[in-house]
């Protein structure tokens, strides 16, 4: 069996957010991009967190009650991010998706985020192997 590395199936084009982005704009951005999540990068390009559509639900619900959006991405993002490496094997990451509830993982090469990998990318690769 050929070893499939994450580098060959990750998405190199993906939405990125800044910690200071207003949460309303970030939520709309995720919806428009049809992205389940986006890495949050600091000004120096380091991973600060990840913002998922699920993270946007509380501020969106709050805004529906009070007619006001409050906060920025940094207030709602997940700070402890599970990342995968470009050299990780498909099977290893497939098992990670079974273990974690996340729909996407940022992909790193050395210490830089270079892509994102969605559950659907793994499933598509697994179904094409057989």
pTM of the predicted model, to two decimals? 0.89
Counting as low any pLDDT under 50, the low residues of the chain are: none
Q: What is the dihedral of CA 25, 44, 37, 99, to 10 degrees?
A: -150
| The pLDDT of residue 84 | 98
Pairing type for strands 47-52 and 84-85 reads unpaired
Backbone dihedral region for residue 34 (phi beyond 0: left; psi -120 to 50: alpha; all else: beta): left
Domain boundaries, the chain: 6-129
| The pLDDT of residue 108 | 96
| The pLDDT of residue 47 | 96
Domain spanning 6-129: CATH 3.20.20.70: no
| The pLDDT of residue 2 | 72
| The pLDDT of residue 77 | 97
């Amino acid at each position: 069996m050929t070893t499939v590395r994450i580098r060959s199936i990750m998405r190199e084009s993906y939405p990125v957010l800044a910690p200071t982005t207003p949460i309303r704009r970030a939520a709309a951005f995720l919806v428009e991009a049809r992205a389940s999540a986006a890495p949050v990068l600091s000004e120096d390009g380091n991973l600060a967190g990840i913002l998922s559509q699920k993270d946007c639900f509380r501020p969106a619900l709050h805004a529906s009650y009070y007619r006001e959006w409050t906060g920025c991405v940094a207030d709602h993002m997940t700070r402890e991010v599970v990342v995968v490496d470009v050299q990780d094997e498909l099977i290893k990451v497939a098992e990670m998706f079974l273990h974690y509830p996340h729909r996407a993982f940022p992909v790193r090469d050395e210490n830089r985020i270079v892509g994102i990998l969605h559950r659907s990318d793994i499933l598509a690769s697994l179904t094409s192997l057989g």
